[in-house]
Structure 1
């Protein structure tokens, strides 16, 4: 059995997607402590200068709580700046006008969510619908697992995993297992709306630029 041990992300990137597609089971570590260094509340987008983050603020009182207990700070105006960032950086993308109304409505729905995890799962579901993506792997949340251990090696052993992967470049906020494997992943280069190519952008980058043709990039992941 192949296992992925990941933290929930606000918007997945191509490495996240490749990992999800490569395994039989995904464990989302929603019971681990929230970290500002992680990607549970932010996502990388393409900008004229390179890349930058869009983000959702977390209540100061919740910043030492588990990920699944972290609440969105609705006292701050975060939705309008997030939408402006997408418009400023993606309005010239091929499929921006096509997807913008629905993406905007999804982001504005954030007003209705108290918990960050619920909101990020909603955004992921909607994004995967736009991209016509299906993840065959079984998904588990650590908060509901009796066999869960924050030690990745112990967790993999308890789940009888022959191989397990973790989130990329996550050593500052995700405990790294000694027996983890590195995914055979070479980041696909694709046409972005600014000169040059910046890897690790979230899947909004691909959606606005490629839309229904995104499958051509996904085919390079498997």
Structure 2
């Protein structure tokens, strides 16, 4: 069994989805410290040919809280505003008619938890793309928040009986293969290849939200894009 662990990111870029599709079980690491100005509640869209950063507004978000302790802002108007922005940016995109209902379902999901909202969004994206990856919220299962860094990752791998652990390429200095080998777990790092596709007639803007990818490509093509990576 192959496993990956990542903080929950809302409507993430395709590299995140590549990691998710490359494994059997994907753990949403939601009982670790919230990251201010990170990608947990933000991402980028293409609006008028330019990248546009959107944010899901949060209430009293802080790096002193765990991700699963952070709540959405009380004002629900952000949902309609975000959907209107997406409609204005993508209504002429080739797959708008199929992707917009999915987007509305995700954005309108009733919850006050950013962790639960991201979990729901990734489950929906999984189903839309026909992926079979099992999604798990770390706060609900492993009971090991007292462990730190690599030891906690290894413990989750052991609990899941994982034979392989895949991490984003940025973690090469955080984890070492000999330690994983000792535990009987193969360690790999995923390196995304640049994926390009037509975005109207604009100069291509890379690494936007998966919503951008879906608006311009059918699911067969997107599944092919999810394989555009190498393991090192």
TM-score bracket, shorter-length normalisation: 0.7 to 0.9
TM-score (norm 2): 0.76
What SS is found at the alignment partner of 2:51? Answer: strand
Q: Cα–Cα, structure 1 residues 33 and 184, in superposed 2: closer, same or farther, change >3 Å?
A: closer
More strand per residue: 1 or 2?
A: 2
> 1:118 and 2:125 equivalent?
no
Q: Which ranges in structure 1 are unaligned for 5 or more consecutive residues?
A: none
1:143-182 aligned within 5 A: 144-148=141-145, 151-158=148-155, 159=157, 164-167=165-168, 177-179=174-176, 181-182=188-189
Structure having greater relative contact order (Cα 8 Å, sep ≥ 6) = 1
C-alpha displacement of 1:185: 2.3
Tell me, in whole angstroms, the C-alpha distance in 2 between the residues paired with 1:195 and 1:129.
Answer: 30
Q: 2:126 touches 2:132 (CA, 8 Å); kept in 1?
A: yes
Tell me, in whole angstroms, the C-alpha distance in 2 between the residues paired with 1:61 and 1:186.
Answer: 33
1:13-32 aligned within 5 A: 13-32=13-32
Q: Cα–Cα, structure 1 residues 10 and 61, in superposed 2: closer, same or farther, change >3 Å?
A: closer
Q: Which ranges in structure 2 are unaligned for 5 or more consecutive residues?
A: 177-186
Please provide the CA RMSD for this pair. Answer: 3.0
Tell me, in whole angstroms, the C-alpha distance in 1 between the residues paired with 2:145 and 2:227.
Answer: 33
Q: Of the candidates 183, 207, 217, which is equivalent to residue 225 of structure 2?
A: 217
Q: 1:14 touches 1:203 (CA, 8 Å); kept in 2?
A: yes
Q: How many residues align?
A: 214
Q: 2:44 touches 2:54 (CA, 8 Å); kept in 1?
A: yes
